[in-house]
Amino acid sequence: MAPGKRMQATFITNNNTRGIVWVVCAMMAWSVQGACNRVFAMAGLSAAQIVFSRASLVVGALLLFAVVRRGRPIATRRPQLHLIRGVFTAISAWCAAYAISRLSLAVTNACLMSAALFMLPLGALFLRERAHWLRWLGVLLGFGGVLLIVRPSVGGPDPAVWVVLCAAVSEAMLGVVLKKASGKESTSAIIFWSYVANFLVFGAACGFRLPAAQWLAVLAQWPVLAVAAASSLGVYFCYIRAYAIGDASAVESGSFSLLLFSPLLGYLLFGESPPVYFWSGALALMLGILLVMFEPARLARPAS
């Protein structure tokens, strides 16, 4: 075989790498958002109330922006796409907010990283992406790490674990829809209609109001609410950019960086100290990252 045609493993230096960097930024914002959700859960708000209060602030801010720009940033020609995304966004938001009130920040976000496990088959099925065997091996290793972190007993894991895994499946489906939407809808339109879905779904669940005690809790923590809204916007923006330039199954490997941010915030803000077995699972996940981020040179997508 000619030297120029030999299949060589190479570190991805193309669009997938840029996409991974955007996902890492999204994970930083996700960790901050999770910490804010935990603050509100400790103040007595339910998962639906947390999502509704955050969506109310974001929708109001985006509407003001849209009015200034005469509605152009939120104009859409694919309402059916936003409807599908709205379903998965609402499921993911509620499940994540529910789980964070019952599990530690580190464990919740580690389980959310299992979205990468579902992205490979979904990317191959819906996006016709080619996944090299090294990616499959890396994701399987990462899944073993999640099992170490959860440590399911004979009686099964905490029910909240199943809820957060449901959020991971929804996040994987969001990734598929984002890939199809990227380049066809503006970033501001995708973000706006996602929050409108959250506002309507969880507003209906709350009767479009919060009890006085919950409103007082929100107002007492208004800086936290502002940070939660900003970080939530950051998650959407970074993910949209990531899926616009890279393969869904490849860029999702950047989500493993959540293992670094969540335990750090959990320790600094809530005094949570993950046990040794958590870090054993984290190590397995990090090794999975290294495998997922390598692919044969002949399969790498050239940078545009």
In a domain, 180, yes or no: yes
Residue 3 lies in a domain: no
The total number of structural domains that make up the chain = 1
Q: Residue 6: inside a domain, yes or no?
A: no
Per-residue pLDDT of the chain (304 residues; tens, 9 = 90+): 444 444 444 444 478 888 888 989 999 999 999 999 898 888 888 888 888 988 888 898 888 888 888 878 788 777 777 888 888 888 998 999 999 888 889 989 888 877 777 777 777 777 777 767 777 787 788 888 888 888 765 456 678 888 998 998 898 888 787 776 555 677 788 888 888 988 999 988 888 887 777 777 777 778 888 898 899 889 888 988 887 888 766 787 777 788 889 999 999 989 998 888 888 888 887 787 667 666 554 444 444 4
The reported pTM is: 0.75
Where in the sequence is the domain holding 264, given as residue range(s)? 11-296
Burial 97-114 (b: 16+ CB within 10 A, else e): bbbbbbbbbbbbbbbbbb
In a domain, 4, yes or no: no
Is position 64 within any domain? yes
Q: Is position 35 within any domain?
A: yes
